[in-house]
Structure 1
């Protein structure tokens, strides 16, 4: 624990940063799809990244705690749930995440993230329930019909392991740069993130409803190709920059 704190403090001393967050009880749900399915989601000049000859779409479910802006002495006092829709890209040969949409249950955080951090956030009614090793996650975006919804139940089925380089688990999760292009913006924005490497657990579950990509006319299969759980990390977010 002391080594982890020291590494976090060292990163803060060496890099510009704007906020810290704690992510807990993350579920990484991933689907393999043809590259052509993802290409319309990703603006040029970003390149769609592939593993095993396929592009990947991820839905990430988690709880956020201790959202804190750098120059504000106290963290935001409320925790909230999020559901992120993302895919994987390369920029100048470097692997990164591209955020398609992000849904959060807290209206203030949605406002700040959209206006100040240029992320494609939406407010949603999200319910997260945790009993033992079983997690239930229900989300309904607040907008006119058709509404993006997600409902599923998941449980862990393995002990923790660090994903090894060269595996799809490592390829999907160990990425520390993100891009976004909110609707109506001509610019692509880039940000960097630091956190300790992931410790993952294999998970399984049931998805009852998933219309998170209906606005893009994409229907994902009911069962993901990969499901993993992580207990959590503390993340440090760097400043947003214009990429193009």
Structure 2
């Protein structure tokens, strides 16, 4: 049985091992045929769907306050832009599966790849903001995203499906693991794309066709603080 989509995180089993804050996020999503992306998923997982459609997410943001659950931050703040899919495993756990995570700190990239096996890549990045706009730029692969933020929105089932994900699936040491997390309910605002140049970035993960059509859903959030628990048993072989 697949766990329900919930706006609030289920209790995170102790001990909490890590904390980090995700700030100034823009959520950009394209709806796709689940069969068109099924080959990306690690063993023991499959595309999660909402009303028969799967989604590809492009999410730029600032990462701050990285450290153990208690104590001072251990890693410097950095910028990140990730491309992610939505997954469900053989135990019914919903999560996120990352195709790429671009960051502007080599030490962060090395640590995340070594410890968790996440597909981080180093690139130069820049974040600029005004009272109502946010611009995120990456190099190699290149992208430029500018959005104008509007009024708060009342989340629907789709918003909860895309943002209320309480874990991630990662391929590590030949197995697929589930890393649970918790965070407050997202406070979302409407967002209008003023500039979206992400062809090279999407092509780098094998999704070039998405850049030729506009996204199906865009939203913005000031952010949340998140906590991670211990990895759970493999979702598949």
* 1:149 maps to 2:142: yes
Residue number among 225, 228, 232 corresponding to 1:237 in the alignment: 228
Distance 1:67 1:126 in 2: 19
Other structure's SS at 1:116 match: helix
Other structure's SS at 2:51 match: coil
- Which residue is equivalent to 1:82? 80
Distance 2:109 2:205 in 1: 22
TM-score, normalised via structure 1 length? 0.84
Distance 1:82 1:207 in 2: 16
* 1:199 maps to 2:187: yes
* 1:214 maps to 2:213: no
Per-residue deviation, residues 206-233 of structure 1 (Å, max 9, x unmatched): 2023322324432213421100001011
Could you list the structure 1 runs, at least 4 aligned residues long, displaced by more than 4 angstroms after superposition. Answer: none
Shift of 1:44: 2.6
* 1:138 maps to 2:121: no
- Which residue is equivalent to 2:163? 173
1:160–1:76: structure 2 CA closer, same or farther, 3 Å change rule?
farther
- Which residue is equivalent to 2:4? none
Matches within 5 A, 1:5-20: 15-20=14-19
Distance 2:227 2:37 in 1: 28
**Which range moved further: 208-217 or 95-104?**
208-217
Matches within 5 A, 1:33-48: 33-48=32-47
Shift of 1:77: 6.3
Shift of 1:46: 0.5
Shift of 1:123: 0.9
Residue number among 216, 219, 224 corresponding to 2:215 in the alignment: 224
Other structure's SS at 1:175 match: coil
Q: Is the 8 A contact 2:25 2:221 kept in 1?
A: yes
Per-residue deviation, residues 18-59 of structure 1 (Å, max 9, x unmatched): 211111101010001111221111123212111122111001
* 1:61 maps to 2:49: no
How many residue pairs are counted as aligned between the two chains?
Answer: 223
Note the residue ranges of structure 2 that are not aligned, 5 or more in a row: 1-8
Other structure's SS at 2:98 match: strand
Distance 1:215 1:136 in 2: 21
Other structure's SS at 2:152 match: coil
Where relative contact order (Cα < 8 A, 6+ residues apart) is larger, the structure is 2
Residue number among 178, 194, 200 corresponding to 1:190 in the alignment: 178
TM-score, normalised via structure 2 length? 0.86
Q: Is the 8 A contact 2:178 2:232 kept in 1?
A: yes
Q: Is the 8 A contact 2:106 2:122 kept in 1?
A: yes
